[in-house]
Amino acid sequence: MFSFFLWIAWSIALVGVGLALAYRRVDLMTSTIVLGFSILAYTLFSNSHGLLDLVLWIGLAGLVLLNNDSLRRDKVTAPLLRLYKSILPSISATEREALEAGTVWWDGELFSGQPNWAKLTSMPAAKLSDEEQAFLNGPTEELCRMLDDWQITHELADMPPEVWAYIKEQRFFAMIIPKNYGGLEFSPYGVAMVLAKLASCNTVAASTIGVPNSLGPAELLLHYGTEEQKERYLPGLASGEEIPCFALTGPRAGSDAASIPDTGIVCKGKFGGKEIIGIRLNWDKRYITLAPIATLLGLAFKLYDPDHLIGDKDEHGITAALIPANTKGITIGRRHFPLNNPLQNGPTQGKDVFVPLDCIIGGPERAGQGWRMLMEQLAAGRAVVLPSNAMGGGKAAVWASGAYSRIRQQFNLPISRFEGIGEVLARMAAEVYTATAAVSVTCAALGRGEKPAVPSAILKYHCTEIGRRVANDAMDVHGGKGISLGPKNYLGRTYQAIPIAITVEGANILTRSLIIFGQGAIRCHPYVLKEMEAAANPDFEQSLDEFDTHLFGHIGYAVSNAARSFVLALTHAKLSDVPHGGPTSRYYQHINRYSAAFALAADVSMLTLGGELKRKESLSARLGDVFSSMYLASMVLKHYENQGSPEADLPLVEWSCRRLLYQAQEQLHGFLRNFPNRPVAALLRGLIFPRGRMYFSPADELGQQIVELITHPTETRDRLCAGIYSTDEPGNPIGRLQTALVAAEAASPLEAKVRDARRAGVIEDGDPLALIAQAEETGVLTGEEARQLRDLDEQVMALITVDDFDSSELGTKTAPKPRRKKPAA
Ligand SMILES: Cc1cc2nc3c(=O)[nH]c(=O)nc-3n(C[C@H](O)[C@H](O)[C@H](O)COP(=O)(O)OP(=O)(O)OC[C@H]3O[C@@H](n4cnc5c(N)ncnc54)[C@H](O)[C@@H]3O)c2cc1C
């Protein structure tokens, strides 16, 4: 019996040594030496003699041989390299360009299975410059004051001329253009904060201004334009003389934008009275924002050169050009009507439009580089415009819903007191906290020169989905008040506009299913892209050398992730490294755990499914969700620190992290349940969930703490919703709501007096005004107190009322009068 326990103890110790070496990612040579001594001790002292010892010694011999570089290369790596080349899934040129676009930042750490937190925690917080702050306090605030949502969305179906003029004059369209061309040269964070403020009051202005500051002519010129093109166009774009648009999408090419059928043929033709080599263009595009009023049309098309006038290729591929919108042969000006959000958006066609070669952005040498240019710029831009719009709209919805639910009473209580409403309010607030964290921290990274393609896709997808959920929730909290459109409605148009953000810049289903993990797996993985590049090297010796380094790095990484995943799950990550102690330290540890589990699952699925993984979109999407949850949770932790770790905000941090990590767990579980190779799935489950699923979603009590924070005028409410247009003035119901909330808070003891008096039978039931009158008469309230309550009631009624219209005010055309039926003879 004793010898059995001795053997068990030694076996556990040996496994422990192996796990510790893998967990700590100790190099191959050191691991071989340590394992050698451990196996020797095991054989000598554990009373184990037999097959197991033999297996251990054979395994050790294998490890020793692997330490011999030339033996390993020739006998192991070379055959594996040949096999790898034969099964490597084909990657198209456009996929490769998307994969190579941008940089790898914090996403790479999360993919490593062992994130180096110092990389994130040491990054300074995003900060507005004095100029950006002044622009927010001045022109942005003034523009918000000028924007009349109902006038724009219903009466004019456009912004009024004075608003257009102000936008141009104040250079809202030029936030990303450098000062030497007349622009404002704002940081990504500065741009995001301006757009967020605008989105908090009017989605048309926010999207209209977002477009020229995102992927489009200015951005492309800045990065790829020739000096001559920059001088020619940028000053006009900065002053608003030129209105740009960028046309990629067409009826046949939406999500699959690289399949555009629009053509440009290099040929000779007459231009300005002279015969030149130029391009004859034909296109049919739709959904193009600003196209109906554009003066400068950015166009993506496929360039062909059948007569080899500019090179020896027949086909150059997708090319981007800038063309004055009044060029002969262009049809432009008609409008689409995107969900009552009348931003200028419409189709354009071109028939045999002849333009000179220098219309190509960057000149003829950039022919065929259009797709790469677009992908590179999307790698950063996707993290700014749509996420900040969603953040601004979400903040306004939380600000309004927190106040509205406090002042709106049903069943003699503010509706915020009902748990059902509280659950929704807590979710809204925490989701907006997550979006805010993601935008501000990612913008800080962009400001430092990162162009993180995968985080940008994560932000595009998750912030717009958060925007959609928050808008939905705000509608529910407001009931009929949110539904009845009119000047008094501050929610309806944002709610209507949400699907636009969901659809543009990579529609969300596609982004989740194909881009986040599909691109991330190869882009952020520490070895896969390097292995692919090594395998593609035509020089076999060099290829073998590089492949050997990356392959064995990869194997070590995979073994380590399996060990880390198992140990971290067993210990509930309690012993893993964190950047610092304190109330949030457990969340850092759980991210460590999911990072290892995710890296293991990603590796195994790439190994077992190979190219098939691209088609298994549901699996790919679930892994993308796990990755996104870790990314967003780390943004929340960093944002909390950036704000000085205010204790009062902890419920928001905890709720956000808990929900995100719970989702990571559930999506990993869903991934394993659906993984086609069942034995592999069982093995993975043993390593990832050896104790089952032990993480829980946020508790109701935590949600109630958040409700208290956002339905009262607290510092947390101010911090969470900072940056929206909340000035108290007649045209801004969002500002009025805050004033009413403060008044309701001040009147709370008086309302309690009235309630107590009614319960005690001192006054009788009645409507609020009757109750106040009785309370005054019976001395429950002083005259001054009664006046305070009447004032509050007046404010509340002004805010909860909705608009009504005569039928003739609503339709754009008058319905024909119904003909009277002739009376029967
Ligand atoms: C208001 C508005 C403004 C726009 N502005 C511009 C602009 O300025 N310039 C411009 O060039 N374009 C613009 N667009 C076009 C926009 O980028 C496209 O609408 C978008 O790319 C989606 O294309 P689609 O609408 O044709 O949808 P489709 O491509 O038909 O997609 C329909 C659905 O299928 C999903 N889907 C497609 N392929 C896959 C896949 N492989 N896996 C999973 N799901 C998939 C999509 O996610 C989507 O849910 C704008 C669109 C709108 C609505």
Give the residue, out of 465, 493, 503, with the most ligand 1 atoms within 8 A of its beta carbon, to mutate for a pocket test: 503
| Rounded to 5°, angle at Cα 397 from 392 and 398 | 100
Mean pLDDT of 542-549: 91
Count of helices and strands (H, E) across the chain = 36, 9
Q: How far does CA 144 lie from the centroid of its chain?
A: 25
Question: Residue 774: CB within 6 Å of ligand 1?
Answer: no
Task: Give the position of tokens 């180096």.
Answer: 116
In this structure, are residues 429 and 83 in contact, taking their beta carbons and an 8 Å threshold?
no
Task: Give the position of tokens 């990603």.
Answer: 602
How many A from CA of 197 to the centre of ligand 1? 26
DSSP 515: I
Nearest-angstrom CA–CA distance, 73 and 603: 22
For 2, the 3-state DSSP assignment is helix
Q: What is the mean pLDDT of the chain?
A: 93
Question: Residue 255: CB within 6 Å of ligand 1?
Answer: yes
Q: What is the pLDDT of residues 156-196, one digit of tens each?
A: 999 999 999 999 999 999 999 999 999 999 999 999 999 99
pLDDT at 349: 98
Q: How far does CA 684 lie from the centroid of its chain?
A: 29
**Virtual torsion, Cα 106, 111, 117, 121, nearest 10 deg:** 20
Name the strand (E) or helix (H) holding 413. strand 413-414
Q: What is the pLDDT of residues 572-592, one digit of tens each?
A: 999 899 998 899 999 999 999
Q: How far does CA 808 lie from the centroid of its chain?
A: 42
How many A from CA of 111 to the centre of ligand 1? 29
How many A from CA of 507 to the centre of ligand 1? 5
Question: Residue 77: CB within 6 Å of ligand 1?
Answer: no
Question: Residue 254: CB within 6 Å of ligand 1?
Answer: yes
Rounded (10°) angle between helices 370-381 and 453-478 = 50
Burial class (CB in 10 A: 0-12, 13-18, 19+), 752: exposed
Taking the CA of residue 256 as reference, the ligand 1 atom at the shortest distance is 29
Question: Residue 377: CB within 6 Å of ligand 1?
Answer: no
Q: Which two tokens stand for residue 37?
A: 């001594």
pLDDT band (50, 70, 90) for residue 155: very high
Q: Which two tokens stand for residue 508?
A: 């969300």
DSSP 823: P
pLDDT band (50, 70, 90) for residue 821: low
Nearest-angstrom CA–CA distance, 377 and 289: 18
Taking the CA of residue 257 as reference, the ligand 1 atom at the shortest distance is 21
Nearest-angstrom CA–CA distance, 484 and 40: 80
Q: Minimal CA–CA distance to 599: which of 117, 114, 118? A: 114
pLDDT at 524: 87
In this structure, are residues 660 and 629 in contact, taking their beta carbons and an 8 Å threshold?
yes
Residues that are catalytic: 505
DSSP 593: H
How many A from CA of 246 to the centre of ligand 1? 14
Asked whether the CA dihedral 579, 583, 584, 587 is positive or negative, the reply is: positive
- β-bridge mates for residue 266, sequence order: 279
For 48, the 3-state DSSP assignment is coil
In this structure, are residues 221 and 362 in contact, taking their beta carbons and an 8 Å threshold?
no
- β-bridge mates for residue 414, sequence order: 409
Nearest-angstrom CA–CA distance, 34 and 219: 55
Q: What is the pLDDT of residues 711-757, one digit of tens each?
A: 999 999 999 999 999 999 988 999 999 999 999 999 999 999 999 99
Q: What is the pLDDT of residues 785-810, one digit of tens each?
A: 999 999 999 999 999 999 999 988 88
Mean pLDDT of 649-669: 98
Residue 461 φ/ψ, nearest 5 degrees: -70, -55
Residue 487 φ/ψ, nearest 5 degrees: -60, -25
Provide the b/e sequence for 757-791 (b: ≥16 CB within 10 Å).
bbeeeebeeeebeebbbbbbeeebbeeebbebbee
pLDDT at 814: 62
Lowest-confidence pick of 32-46, 496-510, 615-629: 32-46
Name the strand (E) or helix (H) holding 284. strand 274-289
Q: pTM for this structure? A: 0.94
Task: Give the position of tokens 């940056």.
Answer: 723
User: How big is the chain, counted in residues?
Assistant: 825
